[in-house]
Amino acid sequence: MGREIGRNRSGLRFGYTTGSCAAAAAKAAARMLLSGEEIFEVSLMTPKGIGLNLEVEETGRTSGWVQCAVRKFSGDDPDVTDGLLIFARVEKTGGEEILLEGGSGVGRVTKPGLEQPVGSAAINRVPRRMIREAVREVCGEYGYTGGIRVTVSVPGGEETAKRTFNPRLGIEGGISILGTTGFVEPMSEKALTDTIFLEMKMLHESGHDYCFVVPGNYGADFLEDALGADPALAVKCSNYVGETVDDGKILGMKGLLFIGHAGKFIKLAAGVMNTHSRQADCRMEVLAAHAAMAGASKELVRKIMGCINTDEALQFLRQAGILETVMETVMERIGYYLGLRAGEEMEIAAVMFSGREILGMTRGAKELLETIRSGEDNRKIQEEDRDDAGNIYRSRSRAGRSGTDDTQSGAGGTGV
């Protein structure tokens, strides 16, 4: 099986993504092709800035190409791709580009609305960049300026993909090559919920009665970049919205402001408080119902029900001129269910976004945003100290942005 690369504070093992495996295999194959030497281990720098040293488990060569394989290791995160060999075959071409193709066991996109265009191999944007950078690095070492073709394949990938959402999403013939950080962080449910509670407890004990709550990195980035707020005052809840509300009540928090992407938060409008796809996926049903209430035609409702992601459905609503109306009623229901869970002892609100656009806010969201911001300003003032010469200096710290990388769980595989 794969190589252990470290553990988190709970003792759970980290893994590495299919994207890291593909990039490492391509790098090893390129080095064997250009050097003529055998490679048994390959180093890879991940997007997270942490290096990996991975074993090359299988190799093959002809006069025209070299092929290497690295085994997927998911650590203690449940993932149906764990143990699969990810192959990369590298060959020279007549051009100057690094071409990337998907072979057997790698899915192919058949429906619009995903990250890659229809007809493309289901290799995500970040892994594509990782593969090209890894191969380019080797070409530079050996002074090779010609073209390279990399073909990624996964024996058993087609069968494994049947246990993911890929067939439903219109990705056929195999798994997706995924990853944003290069790592798979362990997703033990108890470890996650304990961490959520601990993060909120630390904020509360440091004097914060109000805080932001985001599912993960996308929400934290939106909070900082679009709303201009400090992500250090945010708790990451992953999929556990309901449990996080309960934590706030237990700890005596006065208010929580949830900020999340429509792909997760649409589910809250149906009262779904665990947004993981294996728990419930009612996104299109929610949008279709609210579109119908806004006067959408049967044809539009059918189109929405046939969408494979929320962004595609939102575009249909925008084209029909009813997006704003639909978002108003959706946010009303989100506010209702969050309030039902929170009770009367804690303020609670939500902001839902897509891309860099705020789609809607529940009642009280603006006020909570300003309340938390004012607490942030007070914290910064308190952090100011004076040195012996009377000069003011300020020490600012940003919370580390951990978060589970995209994985293909039994109900997942949506990160193409």
Q: Mean pLDDT per 10-residue run, the chain (416 residues)?
A: 59 87 98 96 92 95 96 84 97 95 97 87 97 98 97 98 84 94 76 83 92 93 94 93 97 98 97 91 97 98 95 97 98 98 96 96 97 69 39 28 41 34
Considering the domain architecture, whether residues 199 and 343 belong to the same structural domain is answered as yes
Residue 382 inside a domain? The answer is yes
d(CA 328, CA 312): 19
Res 304: pLDDT? 98
Question: What's the token pair of residue 288?
Answer: 């279709």
Residue 334 inside a domain? The answer is yes
d(CA 103, CA 178): 15
d(CA 10, CA 50): 20
Pairing between strand 347-354 and 357-361?
antiparallel
d(CA 227, CA 204): 22
Considering the domain architecture, whether residues 265 and 149 belong to the same structural domain is answered as no
For the chain, what is the domain count? 2
Q: Which of 319, 410, 316 is nearest to 112 (CA)?
A: 316
d(CA 334, CA 362): 7
Res 98: pLDDT? 97
Considering the domain architecture, whether residues 128 and 210 belong to the same structural domain is answered as no
Considering the domain architecture, whether residues 215 and 156 belong to the same structural domain is answered as no
d(CA 147, CA 173): 27
Residue given tokens 């709970």 in the structure block: 10
Residue 400 inside a domain? The answer is no
- Cα 60–66–68 angle (5° rounding)? 60
Is the distance from CB of 43 to CB of 182 less than 8 angstroms?
Answer: no
Mark which of 156, 184, 212 sits at the end of a domain. 184
Is the distance from CB of 310 to CB of 277 less than 8 angstroms?
Answer: no
Strands (E), 193-240: 210-214, 234-236
Considering the domain architecture, whether residues 39 and 97 belong to the same structural domain is answered as yes
Residue 145 inside a domain? The answer is yes
> To which H or E segment does residue 24 belong?
helix 18-35
Cα–Cα distance list, 323 to 119, 307, 366 (Å): 30, 15, 20
Considering the domain architecture, whether residues 196 and 304 belong to the same structural domain is answered as yes
Longest Cα separation, the chain: 73
Residue 391 inside a domain? The answer is no
Considering the domain architecture, whether residues 168 and 42 belong to the same structural domain is answered as yes
Cα–Cα distance list, 345 to 8, 53, 248, 296 (Å): 35, 51, 10, 38
d(CA 159, CA 157): 6
Is the distance from CB of 188 to CB of 12 less than 8 angstroms?
Answer: yes
d(CA 296, CA 317): 9
CATH code of the domain containing 33: 3.30.2110.10
Residue given tokens 């580009």 in the structure block: 97
Q: Which of 55, 58, 46 is nearest to 3 (CA)?
A: 55
Residue 403 inside a domain? The answer is no
Considering the domain architecture, whether residues 20 and 151 belong to the same structural domain is answered as yes
Res 133: pLDDT? 98
Considering the domain architecture, whether residues 306 and 382 belong to the same structural domain is answered as yes
Res 169: pLDDT? 77
Mark which of 184, 215, 244 sits at the end of a domain. 184
Res 328: pLDDT? 98
Quote the domain boundaries for residue 59.
15-184
Residue 405 inside a domain? The answer is no
d(CA 140, CA 135): 9
Residue 401 inside a domain? The answer is no
Considering the domain architecture, whether residues 259 and 282 belong to the same structural domain is answered as yes
DSSP character for 73?
B
Considering the domain architecture, whether residues 108 and 66 belong to the same structural domain is answered as yes
Res 227: pLDDT? 95
What's the Rg (C-alpha) of the chain? 24
Considering the domain architecture, whether residues 168 and 249 belong to the same structural domain is answered as no
- Helix (H/G/I), strand (E/B), else coil: 136: helix
